[in-house]
Structure 1
Amino acid sequence: MEIVHLLRAVAVELGLHSARFASGNDMHATDVRALIALMDARRAGEETTAGRLGAALGLNSAGTTALLDRLERAGHVRRVRGRTDRRKVVVEVTEEAVELGQSFFGPLIERSLELLRGYDDQQRAAIREFLDGVRRAAAQDAHTSPADASQREPGHKTAR
């Protein structure tokens, strides 16, 4: 359990770090999550539609539109035609947003990479496998209703 508690503490610290970035740049926490999702898609060479972004963030259509309007006004994203299907409108993160994120998160990323350099390939593979498993478990839980989750909790009794 010590590792699980440590992982939770890491998640809290990363959330606070992200909140400091959001606050310092007049953004909502969802704005930061959207930018991260768009940067990840860009790194993977994927195009992201508003619908796909909204689904990834758990937002409805109106919420996604408001989010994108806010990010576009701030100069963090732009809506453009798709590369392969010109009928499709995709959302791209701007270079300015990438640079802003790099200036804030870059030192943390570099410190994390430095820590990883202390591990051999086999240890890094184990870390990667563990973190990916935790990510998949969290994603799976995101698609479970609260009633389903409460039935899994040890000692939890549901009213009948």
Structure 2
Amino acid sequence: MAESPEMRIFHLLREVTVEYGLRQAEFATRNGMHPTDVRALICLLDAERAGTDATAGWLGERLGLNSAGTTAVVDRLERLGHVARSRDARDRRRVLLTVEDRAKELGRAHFGPLIDGTVALLGGFTEEETRGVRRFLTGVRDLMDGDDGTPGAAGVSS
């Protein structure tokens, strides 16, 4: 039976996410980290780009970790020199997390060619095509954010 064009696109998206996950795991291994550490760095970099204050509680929510698990991740990343803790100047009770330049440099060295290639690829798209890609990826992300938490609900089926 022939696949629908929509299912072919879904399977391509799944291939891309699997391959990207493998590259994240390779980066983690190469730099003495756990894959969750890499996910934490990505969350913290996203927060920085969005101008969001990142606390351990905020990070734990994004990673789906309890307080002890989040502390272990932050401790590992701090020990490796990838993350810094600092008191919030507006509320000294809060501790903010930031990604150190060293971690950004490591990430750029590993993922830079992929980032540059992706940006170049998108540069060849029309504005309308770029809007379509953004709308599709945003929609998929929003579907996953609305996931009911059931294992495999994000599409492990054929």
TM norm. shorter chain > 0.5: yes
CA deviation map 1:66-102 (0-9, x unaligned)? 1111000000001101143232111111011111111
Task: Show the counterpart of 1:115.
Answer: 121
CA distance in 2: counterparts of 1:5 and 1:29, whole angstroms: 23
Structure 1 residue 51 and structure 2 residue 95: aligned?
no
Misfit runs of 4+, over 3 Å? none
RMSD (Å), alpha carbons: 1.5
CA distance in 2: counterparts of 1:102 and 1:84, whole angstroms: 31
Task: Show the counterpart of 1:8.
Answer: 14
Among 48, 63, 66, the alignment partner of 1:60 is: 66
CA distance in 2: counterparts of 1:68 and 1:130, whole angstroms: 33
Task: Show the counterpart of 1:146.
Answer: 150
Number of residue-to-residue matches in the alignment = 147
Percent identity reads 54
Gaps of at least 5 residues in structure 2 are: 1-6
Structure 1 residue 85 and structure 2 residue 91: aligned?
yes
Q: TM-score, normalised by structure 1?
A: 0.88
Give the residue type in structure 1 aligned to 2:92: R
Give the residue type in structure 2 aligned to 1:134: V
CA distance in 2: counterparts of 1:84 and 1:105, whole angstroms: 34
Task: Give, in angstroms, the shift of residue 129 of structure 1.
Answer: 0.5
Gaps of at least 5 residues in structure 1 are: 155-160
Question: What SS does the aligned partner of 1:3 have?
Answer: helix
CA distance in 2: counterparts of 1:55 and 1:145, whole angstroms: 14
Task: Give, in angstroms, the shift of residue 65 of structure 1.
Answer: 0.6
Task: Give, in angstroms, the shift of residue 45 of structure 1.
Answer: 1.5
Among 33, 37, 52, the alignment partner of 2:43 is: 37
Task: Give, in angstroms, the shift of residue 43 of structure 1.
Answer: 1.2
Task: Give, in angstroms, the shift of residue 145 of structure 1.
Answer: 4.0
Task: Show the counterpart of 2:4.
Answer: none
Question: What SS does the aligned partner of 1:47 have?
Answer: coil
Give the residue type in structure 2 aligned to 1:12: V
Give the residue type in structure 2 aligned to 1:53: L
